């Protein structure tokens, strides 16, 4: 049996089919058989490439060449020239892609798909992640060496600030500014903690960073330690990440053996040690203060703030807490400079972003692209379009606590500023792509089920609010909701955001807020008509047949004005 060496994707959207897309697909199949290539070249369809200017389109991988428009009459010549003889057919190449202004990097050569722009994942999959020698050969420890021999701690912080690096955990807080807060905080010792407790459902980008390039994270944490004046650091890693844990332990051992950790690194006055601590699987420990409590051996519950970890963190000392992706950006910035880093992304959100992309797309996985790309472009170019028969309905960004993005916002540049202006959040970078078969009420119900289960129970708004919201959503999915729910759910979301103790409770209301804001008609169909437009919800009982729980009734009564 021959090995598949190439793949052809043929556009199959309505316009393509109207212009002969199905006939083109059949002609390409026939041509592959004629040239005896059917076992070497796979052929499939793609529903949406985000391009209307060159349909029907044909994409050839791994050459990353786009042809369009292509007619059935062109199929034989295209297969003969490109797939059989290995020559690109210039006259059939599609024009340069139409892309957003903030993603001009996508305008590659005519007919070509852009490659990923890798900074954080530049070595992942290309070097042996268990060999420090291979890491060093590929620019490893060049940044740390430069910092310790040519830069002061203040210089390192200033370079990170000039680069405009923002936290990649979801909040987007300027990394250099946080470093400055810790460096300037009174008290010693200082600590650095890497939040590697990636527990957000659907997110696994940090795992791939740690598994594919563990030495980069070790170097980055050491750099941060030098910048803020810390001599000890911790990696708090999700307990389920067994392979990443082992590779980080190995990276730390080899770094010690090579003098990259320990006393007087690079013959300087700087000494630094690093430890790995595995968590026990609690979602709440992704919140930085709960993580610190757990690291100290206590129950993982969030602390009251202020004071903040920058002044009162681990064991009450100034502590820097950054997530994996944020730190992994630092060595390239120090090695190449802030000006180089700002050539990627947008002026307000420089650099790249690592996304996990999954759902109703043809190619799920992990990508790294400059900030500012649109959701439509991510789906079309890197997800290779929606699955056959699927139409984009919504996307959720950032796992359970992320925003639900409707189709109307899929052309908003994916950067912190643009998303903030649109009233949504970028989150940690997990993109769940949903089609018309997804019920928005069912999705919100599943997310609230997760939140009520993972709530630590410390504060009432989160403990009671998530339970009440879940029960309300269950009633709606069963055709037992009330129109007043459309007002009470957003109100509850707002209250939880204002008075919950930590980020879990503050963001738990986002799904129901976005549900009512962007998909009100679909929710009303459940309540008024007793039907689920997506055909997902059971709708077993007659509308209004069930009563709210005692807790829900008490909550509603408490909202009524006195007298």
141-169 pLDDT per residue, tens: 999 999 999 999 999 999 999 999 999 98
pLDDT at 201 over 50: yes
pLDDT at 540 over 60: no
User: Would 103 be classed as within a structural domain?
Assistant: no
What is the CATH classification number for the domain harbouring 461?
A: 1.20.1440.230
Are 335 and 352 in the same domain? no
3-state SS, residue 140:
coil
What is the CATH classification number for the domain harbouring 270?
A: 3.40.50.11540
Are 356 and 330 in the same domain? no
pLDDT of residue 554: 44
Q: Indicate the residue among 403, 435, 467 that finishes a domain.
A: 435
Are 286 and 394 in the same domain? no
The domain tally of the chain equals: 4
pLDDT at 413 over 50: yes
CA distances from 455 to 12, 238, 549, 552 (A): 44, 18, 19, 18
Are 181 and 320 in the same domain? yes
SS (H, E, C) 22-91: HHHHHHHHHHHHHCCCCCCEEEEEECCCCCCCCCCCEEEECCCEEECCCCHHHHHHHHHHHHHCCCCCHH
Q: Which of 486, 470, 481, 488 is nearest to 541 (CA)?
A: 481
Are 263 and 157 in the same domain? yes
Are 380 and 400 in the same domain? yes
User: What tens digit of pLDDT does each residue of 225-275 get?
Assistant: 999 999 999 999 999 999 999 999 999 999 999 999 999 999 999 999 999
Q: Are 134 and 127 in contact (CB under 8 A)?
A: yes
Are 266 and 368 in the same domain? no
This prediction's pTM: 0.78
User: Would 104 be classed as within a structural domain?
Assistant: no
- Residue 369 CA to residue 354 CA, distance in Å, equals 7
User: Would 101 be classed as within a structural domain?
Assistant: no
Model confidence band, residue 555 (pLDDT cutoffs 50, 70, 90): very low
Are 239 and 146 in the same domain? yes
The parent domain of residue 56 ranges over: 6-95
Are 457 and 507 in the same domain? yes
Q: Indicate the residue among 339, 360, 377 that finishes a domain.
A: 339
Are 70 and 207 in the same domain? no
User: What tens digit of pLDDT does each residue of 53-85 get?
Assistant: 788 989 887 676 889 999 999 999 999 999 999
Are 273 and 300 in the same domain? yes
Are 532 and 460 in the same domain? yes
Contacts of 490 (CB under 8 A, 6+ apart): 512, 513, 516, 517
User: Would 121 be classed as within a structural domain?
Assistant: no
Q: Are 250 and 215 in contact (CB under 8 A)?
A: no
User: Would 102 be classed as within a structural domain?
Assistant: no
pLDDT of residue 48: 53
User: What tens digit of pLDDT does each residue of 12-34 get?
Assistant: 778 888 999 999 999 999 999 99
């Amino acid at each position: 049996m021959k090995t598949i060496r190439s793949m052809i994707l043929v556009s199959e959207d309505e316009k393509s089919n109207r212009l002969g897309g199905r006939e083109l697909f059949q002609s390409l199949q026939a041509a592959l058989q004629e040239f005896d290539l059917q076992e070497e070249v796979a052929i499939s369809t793609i529903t949406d490439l985000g391009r209307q200017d060159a349909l029907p389109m044909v994409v050839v991988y791994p050459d990353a060449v786009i042809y369009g428009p292509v007619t059935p009459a062109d199929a034989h010549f295209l297969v003969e020239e490109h797939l059989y003889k290995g020559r690109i057919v210039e006259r059939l190449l599609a024009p340069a892609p139409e892309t957003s202004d903030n993603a001009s990097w996508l305008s590659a050569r005519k007919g070509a798909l852009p490659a990923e722009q890798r900074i954080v994942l530049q070595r992942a999959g290309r070097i042996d992640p268990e060999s420090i020698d291979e890491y060093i050969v590929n620019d490893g420890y060049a940044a740390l060496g430069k910092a310790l021999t040519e830069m002061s701690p203040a210089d390192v912080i200033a370079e990170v600030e000039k680069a405009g690096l923002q936290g990649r955990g979801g909040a987007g807080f300027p990394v250099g500014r946080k470093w400055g807060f810790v460096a300037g905080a009174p008290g010693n010792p200082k600590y650095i903690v890497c939040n590697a407790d990636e527990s957000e459902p659907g997110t696994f980008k940090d795992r791939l960073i740690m598994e594919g390039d563990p030495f980069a994270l070790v170097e980055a944490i050491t750099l941060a330690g030098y910048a803020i004046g810390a001599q000890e650091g911790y990696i708090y890693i999700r307990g389920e990440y067994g392979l990443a844990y082992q590779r980080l332990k190995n990276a730390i051992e080899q770094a010690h053996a090579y003098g990259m950790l320990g006393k007087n690194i690079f013959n300087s006055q700087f000494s630094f040690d690093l430890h790995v601590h595995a968590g026990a699987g609690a979602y709440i420990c992704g919140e930085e203060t709960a993580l610190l409590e757990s690291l100290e051996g206590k129950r993982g519950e969030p602390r009251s703030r202020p004071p903040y970890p920058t002044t009162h963190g681990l064991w009450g000392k100034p502590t820097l807490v950054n997530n994996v992706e944020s730190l992994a950006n630092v060595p390239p910035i120090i090695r190449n400079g802030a000006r180089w880093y700002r050539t990627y992304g947008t002026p307000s959100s420089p650099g790249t972003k690592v996304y996990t992309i999954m759902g109703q797309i043809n190619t799920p996985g992990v990508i790294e692209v400059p900030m500012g790309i649109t959701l439509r472009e991510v789906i079309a170019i890197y997800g290779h379009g929606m699955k056959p028969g699927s139409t984009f309905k919504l996307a959720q960004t950032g796992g359970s606590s992320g925003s639900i993005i409707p189709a109307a916002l899929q052309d908003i540049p994916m950067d912190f500023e643009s998303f903030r202006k649109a009233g949504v959040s970028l989150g940690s970078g997990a993109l769940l792509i949903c089609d018309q078969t997804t019920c928005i009420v069912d999705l919100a119900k599943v997310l609230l089920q997760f939140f009520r289960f993972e709530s630590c129970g410390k504060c009432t708004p989160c403990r009671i609010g998530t339970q009440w919201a879940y029960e309300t959503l269950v009633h709606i999915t069963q055709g037992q909701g009330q129109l007043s729910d459309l007002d009470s759910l957003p109100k509850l979301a707002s209250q939880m955001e204002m008075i919950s103790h930590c980020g879990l409770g503050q963001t738990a209301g986002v799904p129901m807020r976005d549900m009512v804001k962007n998909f009100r008609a679909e929710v009303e169909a459940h309540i008024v008509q007793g039907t689920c437009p997506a055909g997902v919800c059971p709708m077993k009982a007659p509308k209004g047949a069930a009563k709210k729980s005692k807790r829900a009734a008490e909550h509603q009564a408490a909202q009524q004005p006195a007298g």
